[in-house]
Amino acid sequence: MPGRTVNQVILLGRLAEPPTPVPDVGEACQMVLTTEERGRDAAGEPITRLERHLLLIEEPGLTAFCLQHLQVGMTLYVEGSLRRNENPATDPSPVAVWVRRLMVASWDPGGLPDDPLA
Domain 9-31+52-106 falls under CATH 2.70.98.40: no
CB hemisphere CA count around 83 (13 angstroms): 14
Terminal-residue alpha carbon distance, the chain:
39
pLDDT at 23: 80
pLDDT at 116: 42
Give 75's strand partners.
Answer: 14, 106
Please give the backbone phi and psi of residue 86, each rounded to the nearest 5 degrees, phi first.
-90, 0
Other C-beta atoms within 10 Å of 23: how many?
A: 9
pLDDT at 95: 85
pLDDT at 115: 46
Q: What rounded mean pLDDT belongs to the chain?
A: 85
Q: What is the pLDDT of residues 89-99, one digit of tens each?
A: 666 667 889 99
Give 1's strand partners.
Answer: none
Q: Domain residue spans in the chain?
A: 9-31+52-106
pLDDT tier at 30, thresholds 50, 70, 90? very high
Residue that wins the pLDDT comparison between 20 and 90: 20
* Rounded Cα gap, residues 27 and 21, in angstroms: 8
* Rounded Cα gap, residues 68 and 41, in angstroms: 41
The whole model's pTM is what? 0.79
The answer to whether residue 18 scores a pLDDT higher than 80 is yes
* Rounded Cα gap, residues 50 and 55, in angstroms: 16
